[in-house]
Amino acid sequence: MRPGRSLAACALIGAAVMAAIDEIVFHQILRWHHFVDRSTSAAGLVSDGLLHTAELLALVAGFVWYADLHRRRALSPAHARAGLLLGLGGFQLFDGLVDHKLLRLHQIRYGVDLLPYDLAWNGAGLALLATGTVLAFRARRLRDRRGRP
């Protein structure tokens, strides 16, 4: 069993999946987000491009890593679940704080009072992150109780 790697592989998948949800739901379907804001700095654009490409590669790398752990029978399902939630929530909170607020790449929605949207977005990210943390601790306790293989 490789609990650390199970968690890390699924965290990669989780972060990339949340990035894809953000891109598909908020950019393309709802069209709330702007593709890019005119006021965005060059540094903001570059970090956005790097992060976006890294998400694509993380999705592929995460799945192949997961498949490799599965093939070796080294996957710890409890840690994998915790990792997935940590990745989902971690990306959402990062996007809400760094992309929206620090780099100001785009906002969640335009022409409305942003506060409830920001609270909902970051709150949901925090909730996912907290659930993932609880699951990670539970997974570790479970493993300790069963005895390390």
Partner 1 sequence: MSAAPLHHTGVGAAELLLAAAAIAAALLYAWGADRVRRRGDAWPWHRDAAFTVGAGALAYASTAALPGGPFTAHMGRHLVVGMAAPLLLVLARPLTLAFRALRPGRARRALLRLAHSRPAAWLAFPPAAALLDVGGLWLLYRTPLLAAVQHHPTAHTLLQLHVLAAGVLFAFAVCGLDPVRRRWGPVWRGATLLAAGAAHAVLAKSLYTAPPPGAAVTAADLQTGAQLMYYGGDLVELALAAVIALQWYAATGRDRARRHRRAALPTAPGPGRSPA
Name the residues that contact partner 1, by CB under 8 A.
2, 35-36, 38, 45-46, 48-50, 52-54, 56-57, 59-61, 63-64, 67-68, 71-74
> Judged by CB, which is closer to partner 1: 6, or 122?
6
Distance CA 37, CA 51 (A): 17
Q: Label residue 69 exposed, middle or buried (CB < 10 Å: 0-12, 13-18, 19+).
A: buried
Q: How far is the CB of 47 from partner 1 (least distance, A)?
A: 9
CB of 120 to partner 1, least distance (A): 26
- Looking at beta carbons only, is 24 or 130 nearer to partner 1? 24
- To partner 1, the closest distance from the beta carbon of 144 in angstroms equals 19
Nearer to partner 1, 73 or 115 (CB): 73
The answer to whether the CB of 99 falls within 8 A of the CB of 26 is no
- Check: CB of residue 135 under 8 Å from CB of residue 76: no
Q: How far is CA 53 from the centre of its chain?
A: 14
